[in-house]
Amino acid sequence: MMHLPILPILLPLLAGILLLLLRPLGLQVQRMVGFAVTFALLMLAVWLFDGALVGQRQVYALGHWPAPFGITLVFDQLAALMLLLTAILAVGALWYAIVTEIDAQGSHFHVLFQMQLFGLNGAFLTGDAFNLFVFFEVLLLASYSLLLHGGGKERTVAGLHYVVVNLVGSTVFLFALGALYGALGTLNIADMAAKVAELPAEREGLVMAAGLLLLLVFGLKAAMFPLYLWLPAAYANTSAPVAALFAIMTKVGVYAIIRVHGTVFGEDAGSLAYFYAPWLLGLGLITLVLAALGVLAAFRLRIQVAYLVLASVAMLLIAVGLHSETGLAAALYYLVHSTLLAGGLFLLADVIVRGRGAYADRFDPGMRLPHHALLGGLFMFAAVAALGLPPLSGFFGKLWILQAALEHPWRWAVLATVLISSAILLIALARSGSVLFYKVKDRPDAADPVLPAQISAFAPSLMAVLWLLAAVPLLVLLAQPVAEIMQQIAAQTLDTAGYRAAVFDPAVGGK
């Protein structure tokens, strides 16, 4: 039981190294090992999540150096939820990559995939701000290579923008960490929270500036206004399973804000308590408006889905910016819903693209899709969930966030923005659905290429879509227990005193 918290980090790391060595044995072996390890990670995550719900926080001191001197891993309910979400998404994305043979388009797909999971899991578990930076770099470097996997001109150019923007972000991250270290003398998140609580007044400005710089960095990862411009091109031009896996990447930014800002500038932080929340709320509202306009203006399905991801991040930023326990619980519910839905939508878009031949995902009337009724039905189902119309999980998530907003002084701004942007999304998705599925040509033009009669590997690839979209009805059917779990997680996350106690005295936190 003692070494459990480090297992989700070690498993993908060792699997990545193993896959590198297995390369001479061919792609089939790599596929089997990669999928088996990812599935094992899912089982591990389920088991850990189950344990985390009843147990205390577990603190793992690497090399037995006690906090704040060593690097600590903190395994709590929020981290367990994120691990579980990543593993579910990874299984779907990897399955899709294998059955559509996207992993064969370049070398080292499976190695990079495991390294991506290594970075993600590490970022969720670490309790040290500098270690968070290191894991961010690990997951970013893996994401750069995954993004470029398969190649192509547009993908390379979008990749260059993504890489440069994130490298500048890393620089700002280091400046923020340096300033925080200079002001507080520590980088352990729990220790930082303790130091901020007894901060002399003359250093408040410096710490606040560093906190805002850090918000800038996490906002960049989360694609917050005005730092979202890299997202649509990067997500729309990469391969579908990578885009699906990237659905969690923006949420890493939101997670980091909840974890670092929520802990360091929590309720004990004196005059700095929750100083970041109005920024988050305001920028989230602007992001939501721009994302809705982006969905409306998109001329390709995958760009539209990328803007839907942006809209879901904006909802999360708004919910976190409300800085109430209800708001955080609603944010976590919406985070699970939107991450799995976005992954499913990217995969579904790819299935549709494969069926449309040369029309790809442009909103031009093309020939009737193979399996059009099934695909159209799935598209409508996913669109309803993404819009937040009843009876699917998007509705519950949005309703819960709006309920939390009622206690906030900005309630009218939040209500108006969320509802109007939802209406814009409805118009945009109704248009794209009707172009893709209703407005079809009877006879092919002379210029039209021959359409594929059947989409290759249709049934297995659809299974990956269903695997991810299954979360939508499940979150509705199990809304009551899931909501209770989210409230429990939010309560534990906001209990920063308990977090500090667990880190400094592992006996309190329990084993």
Partner 1 sequence: MELLIALSIGVLVACGVYLVLRASTFPVVMGLTLLSYATNLFLFAMGRLAIGVPAIVSQDAAGYTDPLPQALVLTAIVIAFGMTAFAIVLALKVRSETGSDHVDGKGGEV
Which residues of this chain interact with partner 1, rule CB under 8 A?
Answer: 130, 134, 137, 141, 144, 148, 151, 153, 156-157, 159-161, 163-164, 167-168, 170-171, 174-175, 177-179, 181-182, 187
Of the pair 157, 466, the CB lying nearest partner 1 is at 157
Total residue length of the chain: 511
DSSP state of 59: E
**Nearest residue to 120 via CA among 15, 239, 228, 13:** 13
Distance between CA atoms of residues 486 and 179, nearest Å: 34
Residue 153 CB, shortest distance to partner 1, in Å, is: 5
Of the pair 48, 252, the CB lying nearest partner 1 is at 252
**Nearest residue to 167 via CA among 230, 248, 233, 239:** 230
Structure tokens at 144: 């750069």
Residue 164 CB, shortest distance to partner 1, in Å, is: 6
Of the pair 118, 346, the CB lying nearest partner 1 is at 118
Residue 401 CB, shortest distance to partner 1, in Å, is: 36
Residue 130 CB, shortest distance to partner 1, in Å, is: 6
Opening angle at CA 483, ends 479 and 488, nearest 5? 155
**Nearest residue to 82 via CA among 339, 267, 295, 279:** 339
Of the pair 187, 378, the CB lying nearest partner 1 is at 187
Omega within 30 of 0 (cis) for the link into 391: yes
Residue 182 CB, shortest distance to partner 1, in Å, is: 4
Residue 465 CB, shortest distance to partner 1, in Å, is: 31
Of the pair 151, 444, the CB lying nearest partner 1 is at 151
**Nearest residue to 249 via CA among 141, 127, 397:** 141
Distance between CA atoms of residues 232 and 161, nearest Å: 11
Of the pair 160, 477, the CB lying nearest partner 1 is at 160
Distance between CA atoms of residues 361 and 433, nearest Å: 12
Strands (E) in 317-397, as ranges, are none
Of the pair 58, 238, the CB lying nearest partner 1 is at 238
DSSP state of 388: T
Of the pair 148, 315, the CB lying nearest partner 1 is at 148
Of the pair 157, 419, the CB lying nearest partner 1 is at 157
Residue 179 CB, shortest distance to partner 1, in Å, is: 7
Structure tokens at 112: 């990079």
In angstroms, the first-to-last Cα distance of the chain is 8
Residue that has been written with the tokens 């909840």 in this structure:
258
Contact 119, 139 (CB under 8 A): yes
Residue 229 CB, shortest distance to partner 1, in Å, is: 13
Residue 297 CB, shortest distance to partner 1, in Å, is: 19
Main-chain dihedrals φ then ψ at residue 269, nearest 5 degrees: -80, 15
Of the pair 156, 454, the CB lying nearest partner 1 is at 156
Structure tokens at 182: 């200079």
Main-chain dihedrals φ then ψ at residue 345, nearest 5 degrees: -65, -40
**Nearest residue to 326 via CA among 509, 491, 178:** 491
Residue 178 CB, shortest distance to partner 1, in Å, is: 4
